[in-house]
Amino acid sequence: MINLKNMIDSTQNIVFFGGAGVSTESGIPDFRSVDGLYSHKYKYQPEEMLSVDFFINNTAEFYDFYRDKMIYPLVKPNKAHIALAELEKLGKLKAIITQNIDGLHQMAGSRKVLELHGSVNCNNCVNCKAFYDVKIITANKSIPRCTCGGVIKPDVVLYGEGLDSEVLNEAIRFIRAADMLIVGGTSLNVYPAAGLMNYYKGNKLVLINKSATSFDSNANLIINESIGKVLGDII
């Protein structure tokens, strides 16, 4: 019987690809789940409020929602984040590719983290490009502004914006070169997840997700359990 620990023990080039499920176990709601962000507190749907047009045209309302629903200053990495950081220290894990924007992998000690959708910890002035960390957003009750007067924009991919091509290309390079690909906390239904999966050509594809995914038929090992429990148990 195939066993995750045995697979990891015999592999030196692992890439991890993670989705919202990795963060939900730290208490961050899944943006797309019905029980996640969808609340009747706001006049608009989350997808609209998180669009680049809304950011430009309704900046104050964008920030009300963004501060309320997208930033979680008190959350901590869970067992999944910690185990992945440990696998990197052991030289086995080469990169984490994540769809999450919370920075929890870095907080757990991971170094090579490719954030496909950006990070709440990176913010830039739209005029002079000056960098600001998340405190400029959380400490501000209205629209955060640069010392130059420009509006500060989170470096997260909003609806209507494309992914950063450098990050995407690097993710593709890591997946192509991977001996083992562990995918966790994602149903793999959402772009670009499904597309990225096609670059993996190895025979150690592990899917860890509480429910079925679109790639179950391609997987060498499927574990329908909590990602924190599964990864926590192998380290």
Catalytically active residues are: 117
Of 4-12, 93-101, 123-131, 172-180, the window that binds Zn ion (rule: CB under 5 A) is 123-131
C-alpha 174/C-alpha 14 separation (Å) is 9
For residue 124, state whether it binds Zn ion (rule: CB under 5 A): no
For residue 125, state whether it binds Zn ion (rule: CB under 5 A): yes
Residue 141 burial (C-beta neighbours within 10 Å; 0-12, 13-18, 19+): exposed
Provide the CB-side half-sphere exposure for 216 (13 A, CA): 10
Phi, psi angle pair for 201, to nearest 5°:
-115, 5
Task: Classify the C-alpha dihedral 218-5-190-224 as positive or negative.
Answer: positive
Measured from the Cβ of residue 217, the count of other Cβ atoms closer than 10 Å reads 7
Give min distance, CB of 75 to Zn ion, in A.
Answer: 29
Which of 109, 150, 202, 232 is close enough to bind Zn ion by CB under 5 A?
A: 150
Of 92-100, 142-150, 198-206, 208-216, the window that binds Zn ion (rule: CB under 5 A) is 142-150
For residue 146, state whether it binds Zn ion (rule: CB under 5 A): yes
For residue 143, state whether it binds Zn ion (rule: CB under 5 A): no
Of 23-31, 77-85, 109-117, 149-157, the window that binds Zn ion (rule: CB under 5 A) is 149-157
Please report, as ranges, the residues that interact with Zn ion according to CB under 5 A.
125, 127-128, 130, 146, 148, 150
